[in-house]
Amino acid sequence: MIYLCGIPFEFRRDTTYNIKDHKYIMSDTTTPVPAQNLTDGMHVVVDTLKRNGVKVVYGVVGIPVTDLARHLQECGIRYVGFRHEQSAGNAAAITGYLTQKPGILLTVSAPGFLNGLTALANATINGYPMIQISGSSNRAIIDLQQGDYEGLDQMNVAKPFCKASYRINRPEDIPVGIARAIRAAVSGRPGGVYLDLTTALLESVIDQDVIDKCMFVTEDPAPAYMPSAQSVEKAMGLLAQAKHPLIILGKGASYSQTETDIRAFIEKTGIPYFPMSMAKGLLPDDHPQCAIAARSFALENSDVVMLIGARLNWLLSHGKGKHWNPNVKFVQIDIDPEEIDSNQHIQAPIVGDIASSMKCLLSALEKQPFHADTDWMDQIKKAEAPNVAKMAAKLSLNPTPMNFYSALNAVKKVMDKNQDVILVNEGANTLDDTRDVISMQNPRHRLDCGTWGVMGIGMGFAIGAAITTGKRVVCIEGDSAFGFSGMEIETICRFKLPVTIVIFNNGGIYKGDCKNLGGGSDPSPTTLMANAQYDKMIEAFGGIPYNATTPDELQSALEAGLTADRPTLINCVIDPSVGTESGHIGNLNPKVILQK
Ligand code: ADP
Ligand code: MG
């Protein structure tokens, strides 16, 4: 330490700054600068995140972001360390979905970055706001492809997989860089943003005064987007004249947190509706206008369909074909103007955010009330009756070993009594059948594979949801699906999260009894271990294991899990011969296979 006029001075040399001791190692360089007025890139990143309201960061540490995570904790931001970046990214994504603020993922360079990228891409496809912040290596070496440690041109690699991809090169740009990332993630259609922080940036040293001058907090990062009055009027005209109107609620609607207004509109107009998978519970599934059990009948017969935050993508057979009335007309509320007409002609687009749009629709309805023909609702209820009876019959069977339905019947008994539990659900048959059987009563309580039907979201979503909401989480997992993020049960136990995992173990992808067509002793491509004892895994980390071979055992294990003071895992033994290939979407497999 050198003293000039009694003030401690140190010498600045960026690359030899020792971040832990807040000291500079003396060097032969530059002018002396007062140590107490200095800061560095890492601290500025943490400070900017904190000022912008970031409460939790999910990630996996390593070079060059380990100290960054330490500073997050030091600064009061929660850091949740995972075992794999993809799960951490999924936790960030679902945090974004649940809070309307970007969830943050922190990754190390190259491989860690790439591991996180699947979650970032999935968030973008689904409209979940998140920011993947990744450390990266030396630009000069990467750009000349000279082979740096974990060297990869991450910013450019990320571009096709997210809404925006930025690199911050100068510490004074950190506030503006983070502001741009936040805005890009939450404004318009939400999605993933990549933010590249080089080692050089993290260790760069700058006067605190300079940073103070450029520090700011983003104002209104997701501004209201009012629809035009004409678009609302046109939509109302179309709906009022419809003989068989229908409303489809998508996860954009649940994201928008406007269930009160959506419900008021549905009830005042008497229009039947059904929710897409993650919009289940936006209105309670047992709402008298819910047409979910007569979905096909409703689609085939509706003459005007209003989509609220739902896309006419593959999940709605692109709005055409045998499931749809060929003369159907569409009203679509969406924040993204480019979504309109993406598959079908939308006669009445309402481009705006759902919250503002619903307010406009409600006030238009006040001025010119209308009510759908009650006979239409009656027709739907009539069409529903045989489907409800069929489902009741399936649920009442009690085969040995259990099938998906007898297991779900047990789960349903518990979930119906615990409606505030968040349900995470993934798999193929496990996904389809759980969605059909388990009713949801609360918005944003069903979190699943989403737009891509992706596997591997399970433990990440469970952790993100538990951390963000403080609520209990039950994961209904296919045995294959669980495998993609199963190691995160260590994270769940380490953070003592109130999570119960139910594994529908039928010993395979889709099912467990397929044969090796080559006749050899290797298991078939879809075969997993039917006798695997997944429950033993959680024992290793101090959680509570259960093995359930009957619906009664499953019911009591799940009940115990929901009151346990530790995470629980229930290995649920399902008949390996049940389950259909690819669940409900087997038709998406190649249809022509020539017999040779
Ligand atoms: P689902 O799979 O449930 O049908 P999608 O993810 O396909 O839902 O569609 C959600 C749609 O909602 C997207 O087109 C997205 O642009 C839109 N969206 C998301 N948030 C909002 C919002 N706040 N206001 C309006 N539209 C929104
Ligand atoms: Mg399986």
Nearest CA to ligand 1 atom 24: 353
pLDDT of residue 35: 64
**pLDDT value of residue 206:** 97
pLDDT tens-digit profile, the chain (596 residues): 344 444 444 444 333 444 444 444 434 444 555 567 999 999 999 999 999 999 999 999 999 999 999 999 999 999 999 999 999 999 999 999 999 999 999 999 999 999 999 999 999 999 999 999 999 999 999 999 999 999 999 999 999 999 999 999 999 999 999 999 999 999 999 999 999 999 999 999 999 999 999 999 999 999 999 999 999 999 999 999 999 999 999 999 999 999 999 999 999 999 999 999 999 999 999 999 999 999 999 999 999 999 999 999 999 999 999 999 999 999 999 999 999 999 999 999 999 999 999 999 999 999 999 999 999 999 999 999 999 999 999 999 999 999 999 999 999 999 999 999 999 999 999 999 999 999 999 999 999 999 999 999 999 999 999 999 999 999 999 999 999 999 999 999 999 999 999 999 999 999 999 999 999 999 999 999 999 999 999 999 999 999 999 999 999 999 999 999 999 999 999 999 998 888 888 888 888 777 76
Can you give the pLDDT at residue 588?
A: 87
Q: Measured from the CB, is residue 256 less than 6 Å from ligand 1?
A: yes
Residues of the chain with CATH 3.40.50.970: 39-214, 397-582
Q: For residue 316, what are the contacts with CB-CB under 8 A and spacing of at least 6?
A: 248, 276, 310
Instruction: Answer whether 462's CB lies under 8 Å from 475's CB.
Output: yes
Q: Is the CB of 448 under 6 A from ligand 1?
A: no
pLDDT (0 to 100) of residue 584: 85
Residue pair 93/126 in contact (Cβ under 8 Å)? The answer is yes
Query: Diameter of the chain by CA atoms?
Result: 91
H or E element at residue 439: none
Architecture of domain 397-582: 3-Layer(aba) Sandwich (3.40)
Q: How far apart are CA 335 and CA 330, in angstroms?
A: 16
Strand extents, DSSP E, 157-218 = 164-168, 192-198, 205-207
- For the Cβ of 252 lying below 6 angstroms from any atom of ligand 1, the answer is yes
Contact status, residue 102 vs residue 131, Cβ threshold 8 Å: yes
Pocket residue to mutate for ligand 1, from 98, 99, 189, most atoms within 8 A of Cβ: 189
DSSP class of 508 = B
How, if at all, do strands 205-207 and 38-40 pair?
A: antiparallel
Ligand closest to the CA atom of residue 129? 1
Give me the architecture of the 229-382 domain, per CATH: 3-Layer(aba) Sandwich (3.40)
Looking at 374-439, list the stretches that DSSP marks H as alpha helix, in order from N- to C-terminal side: 374-396, 404-417, 429-437
Query: Which residue minimizes the CA distance to atom 19 of ligand 1?
Result: 252
What pLDDT was estimated at residue 282? 98
Residue positions counted in the chain: 596
d(CA 68, CA 286): 47
Pocket of ligand 1 contains residue 490 by CB under 6 Å: no
Q: Where in the chain is the domain with CATH 3.40.50.1220?
A: 229-382
458's CB contacts (< 8 A; 6+ apart) are 424, 426, 475, 477, 481, 482, 484, 485, 501
CA of 562 from ligand 1 middle (Å) equals 32
Q: Could you tell me if residue 581 is left (phi over 0), alpha (psi between -120 and 50 degrees) or otherwise beta?
A: beta
Which pLDDT value is given to residue 579? Answer: 85
**Start-to-end C-alpha separation, the chain:** 82
Closest alpha carbon to 444 in 468, 414, 479, 411: 468
Question: Which residue's alpha carbon is at the smallest distance from atom 21 of ligand 1?
Answer: 252
Question: Relative to the CA of 311, which ligand 1 atom is closest?
Answer: 7
Q: Which of 271, 273, 276, 282 is nearest to 314 (CA)?
A: 276
Architecture of domain 39-214: 3-Layer(aba) Sandwich (3.40)
Task: Give residue 17's pLDDT.
Answer: 43
Q: Is 278 in the pocket of ligand 1 (CB under 6 A)?
A: yes
Question: For ligand 1, atom 4, which residue shows the shortest CA distance?
Answer: 310
Give, using CA atoms, the residue closest to atom 6 of ligand 1. Answer: 126
pLDDT of 594 reads: 77
Q: How far apart are CA 60 and CA 365, in angstroms?
A: 51
Going from the Cα of 516 to the center of ligand 1, the distance in angstroms, rounded, reads 42
Give the pLDDT confidence score for residue 20 in this predicted structure: 46
